Structure 1
Amino acid sequence: MTEMRWLDDREQRAWRSLMAMQEGLGEFIDRQLRNRCDLSHADFQVLAHLSEAAQGRLRPFELSHLLRWDKGRLSQHLGRMQTRGLVSRVRCLEDRRGAVVCMTSRGSELIEAAAPQHVADVRSAVIDQLTPGELATLTAIADKVRDRLTLLGEIEAAGSFRRRSVTGHPGTASSTTSASAASPP
């Protein structure tokens, strides 16, 4: 059995600083958007991705991937945004089975009003506080951690799929299945 590797003082400080920065930045951005435009940061992210998409529409799975949200979170959030008149969901014309998420004119008005001040807030809180070298380092670190999280998510999803295919139930293992059925391919 591998011995537990606790964080040393330097690692602990880095971890806690990262968490404090992430939480503080998220709270700041969310507060600014809510106060100015009655949008949450999550609303802003959805609308920003839709505004950048071809024809202002995306399939839910595409939006989920861009936001790094699970299907349930996306569905619930889109439902709230739809109730507020910010987005709509319409049947996909290409395959007639799925849906596409579209920004409404109200959503478009709000993102256009919010974007300039949002950029100013991001500059004030982060970008303008860093030298070009620090910004490059921050980008490299963020990309490296994001890539690792993507890999860990894929590994986790593969493990969940294996458990589900063996037992028929997500996230559980069954002693009634044969050892060969439980082995990964």
Structure 2
Amino acid sequence: MAAPRWLTDDEQRAWRAYVESTKLVFDLIDRQLQRDADMPHAYWEILVRLSERPDRRLRMSELADVTRSSRSRLSHAVARLEERGWVEREDCETDRRGSFAVLTDAGHAALVAAAPGHVEQVREVLVDRLGPERLAELGRISTALLEGLAAEGHTPNGAA
């Protein structure tokens, strides 16, 4: 068995800065959404994904994939969104085991109401802080990571 390839000091600094900065950015985004819209970022992501569809609906399995969530975690979140009247589930007529999550008018209104504060927070903690050139660089780096991992067969829910 080969010896592990330990990170150099520079690699370790870059890795830790990446991990700490992404955790802090998502924590700040989540806190703003909780404070101003009474929803965690995970709920925001579900509402956004549904709103981007012309019919505001997605199969639950597809919604789990695009939100990078386990099926059980997504089901729990959708149940909470149903309690708020923001999402409804519909049975799939062609597959008895499948169902759809559908964004309601109330859910769309909640998303629209939360959007200005959310966008301002994203600008404050990321976009304006980096500026156009570094933001474009971050986009290229993130795309390279996503494409490389996808090419290796890594799926949204963590399986390879």
| TM-score (structure 2 length as normaliser) | 0.88
The count of aligned residue pairs is 156
The aligned residue for residue 119 of structure 2 is 119
Mapped partners of 1:134, 1:63: distance in 2: 31
Cα deviation, residue 141, structure 1:
1.0
Cα deviation, residue 131, structure 1:
3.0
1:80 and 2:75 matched:
no
| TM-score (structure 1 length as normaliser) | 0.77
Find runs of 4+ consecutive structure 1 residues off by over 3 angstroms: none
The aligned residue for residue 104 of structure 2 is 104
> Structure 2: which 5+ runs fail to align?
none
More divergent stretch after superposition (30-39 vs 79-88): 79-88
The aligned residue for residue 11 of structure 2 is 11
Judged with a 3 Å threshold, the aligned counterparts in structure 2 of structure 1 residues 152 and 9 are, in CA distance, closer, same or farther, namely: farther
The aligned residue for residue 140 of structure 1 is 140
Name the amino acid aligned to 1:90.
E
Q: How does 1:29-178 map to 2 (within 5 A)?
A: 29-93=29-93, 95=94, 97=96, 98-150=98-150, 151=152, 153-154=154-155, 157=159
Mapped partners of 1:110, 1:131: distance in 2: 30
Cα deviation, residue 51, structure 1:
0.7
CA RMSD of aligned residues (A): 1.8
Q: What SS is found at the alignment partner of 2:55? A: helix
Name the amino acid aligned to 2:27.
E
Mapped partners of 1:116, 1:61: distance in 2: 29
Mapped partners of 1:140, 1:96: distance in 2: 39
Mapped partners of 1:121, 1:157: distance in 2: 32
Name the amino acid aligned to 2:33.
L
* % identity of equivalent residues: 38
Name the amino acid aligned to 2:75.
S
Q: What SS is found at the alignment partner of 1:131? A: helix
Mapped partners of 2:110, 2:84: distance in 1: 12
